Amino acid sequence: MTAAPVPGFAGDNHLMIELITPDDFIHSDPFILLTDHRLDVGTGTIRAPHPHAGFETVTLFLEGSIRDRSGGNVLGAGDLQWMTAGSGIIHKEDVETMGPVRVLQLRLTLPKAQRWTTPSLETIRLNSVVNCIRGPAAGLPIRRMPGVEARLYSGISR
């Protein structure tokens, strides 16, 4: 059973649910934390600059859209952002929500040999052109089965 949403770090208009917690890392390794965020914070800095190192975050935008005020990018439903903190990165959430937003964010530890890798950020758009085994295709590969629609953001689906 999923826990009820609790207030998040971004103030009154931020609710979150921890779906995977760091409390039992021995059983969830390499996954550190999986959170379901519901935001409607308007314009402003959600968090002051803070460091990350040795892990990655994978952020999937489920509903709504945000504008990253530091980079100007608009991220919407279906977009995914992959941040490799590696040897260390300092960042802040300086965003504008354009109405209610729902985001899933997964944090996972990097393998020991990759923890000092160069930091990077990759945005994968829902409507991006991807290279498939049979050549370029418009949009992310989608697998549909009764009651399920899955999009492949990384890896191979057969």
pLDDT digits (tens, 9 = 90+) for 125-146: 887 755 444 444 556 777 788 9
**Domain count across the chain:** 2
Strand 74-76's sheet: what is its strand order?
43-45, 94-97, 65-68, 74-76
Is residue 21 domain-shared with residue 84, that is, in the same domain?
A: yes
Q: Does any domain span residue 38?
A: yes
Q: Does the N-terminal peptide bond of residue 30 adopt cis geometry, omega within 30 degrees of 0?
A: yes
The pTM score is 0.82
DSSP annotation of 4: P
What are the tens digits of pLDDT across the range 73-86?
888 998 998 999 99
Is residue 133 domain-shared with residue 119, that is, in the same domain?
A: no
CA distance 22 to 108: 10
Q: Does any domain span residue 155?
A: yes
Q: Does any domain span residue 1?
A: no
DSSP 3-state of 107: strand
**90 vs 70, 80, 111, CA distance in Å?**
13, 20, 21
Is residue 108 domain-shared with residue 154, that is, in the same domain?
A: no
Main-chain phi, psi angles of 13, to 5 degrees: -100, 35
Read off the pLDDT of each residue in 32-61 and give the average, rounded to a whole number: 85
Q: In which residue are the tokens 């899955």 written?
A: 150
Is residue 82 domain-shared with residue 140, that is, in the same domain?
A: no
- With contact defined as beta carbons under 8 Å apart, do 85 and 50 qualify? no
> Which structural domain, as residue segments, surrounds residue 86?
6-126
